[in-house]
């Protein structure tokens, strides 16, 4: 397929990284295959994670097709960019369509990026994940590659103001060894193993980060930060979901 949009977007991102003197550390990039399909599975702590997870695939010369919620594609600015980069829209009311599009891309030799937690983790730990990444990898006969991102939450995350022009922010990107679930495997058990590997990589990224201050909002609670605990974060997510379900004031309800 023609790549008219993706290369300029990458160029703009690299220019921004240099201008902001961003300290990006990538380890394990050799684990991303140079040819053939793969499911790249990353943790999710920032609205910018797709940029940095995709950055991990640059040494392999790969472009990652990320699965993202349909609303991003409907936006007047981000929509044309997402479609131009051939990312995959996910309509949560019609998930089979997105799954089919991802399988087609994987079988065509593409790398498909998945944020298996579905939403940003407010606790900056790995939330429970769904088994979609495992099912895709098995159906397409391709490996899963776990990725951990750390530092991206300092730029833009849920419930915090954007600081896109913040300078000298370290960002760590760790790529784990491929995992190869097979037909006949227990998908839930494989998902548990995937989450454990992502958690291990994230813990390594957090504990080797250049800045480990105490009492800052962007550090998880178990490392001395003030981010919500996983339990508190889950309660916040539940309250947010409930608020979305409630009708707008004055909206009629069907009895």
Q: Please list the rounded mean pLDDT of every run of 10 residues in the chain (255 residues).
A: 92 96 98 98 97 97 96 93 96 85 98 96 97 97 98 97 96 98 97 98 97 94 97 96 75 40
Q: Are 49 and 77 in contact (CB under 8 A)?
A: no
Q: How many CA atoms lie within 13 A of 4 on its CB side?
A: 5
- Predicted pLDDT at 73: 94
Q: Residue 179 corresponds to which tokens in the numbers above?
A: 């995992």
- State pTM to two decimals: 0.94
The residue among 94, 104, 106 whose CA lies nearest residue 137 is: 106
Q: Are 42 and 148 in contact (CB under 8 A)?
A: yes
> How many other CB atoms are there within 10 angstroms of residue 227's CB atom?
23
Q: Where are the domains of the chain?
A: 6-211
Q: Are 150 and 46 in contact (CB under 8 A)?
A: no
- Predicted pLDDT at 4: 96
Q: Residue 192 corresponds to which tokens in the numbers above?
A: 């548990």
- Predicted pLDDT at 245: 85
Q: Look at domain 6-211 and name its CATH class.
A: alpha beta
- Predicted pLDDT at 253: 40
- Predicted pLDDT at 247: 66
- Predicted pLDDT at 249: 53
């Amino acid at each position: 397929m023609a790549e008219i949009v993706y290369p300029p977007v990458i160029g703009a991102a690299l220019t921004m990284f240099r201008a902001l003197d961003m300290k990006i550390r990538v380890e394990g990039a050799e684990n991303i295959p140079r040819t053939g399909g793969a499911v790249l599975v990353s943790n999710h702590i920032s609205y910018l994670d797709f940029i940095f997870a995709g950055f991990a695939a640059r040494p392999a010369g790969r472009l990652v097709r990320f699965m993202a919620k349909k609303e991003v594609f409907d936006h007047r600015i981000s929509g044309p960019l997402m479609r131009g980069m051939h990312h995959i829209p996910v309509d949560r009311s019609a998930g089979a369509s997105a799954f089919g599009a991802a399988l087609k891309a994987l079988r065509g030799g593409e790398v498909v990026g998945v944020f298996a937690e579905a939403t940003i983790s407010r606790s900056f730990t790995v939330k429970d994940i769904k088994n979609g990444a495992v099912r895709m990898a098995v159906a397409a006969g391709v490996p899963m590659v776990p990725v951990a991102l750390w530092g991206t939450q300092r730029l833009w995350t849920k419930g915090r103001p954007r600081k896109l022009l913040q300078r000298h922010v370290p960002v760590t990107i760790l790529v784990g060894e491929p995992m190869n679930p097979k037909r006949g495997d227990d998908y839930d058990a494989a998902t548990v193993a995937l989450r454990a590997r992502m958690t291990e990589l994230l813990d390594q990224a957090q504990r080797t980060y250049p800045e480990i201050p105490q009492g800052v909002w962007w550090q998880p609670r178990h490392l001395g930060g003030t981010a919500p605990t996983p339990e508190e974060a889950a309660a916040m997510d539940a309250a947010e979901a409930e608020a979305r379900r409630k009708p707008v004031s004055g909206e009629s309800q069907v009895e």
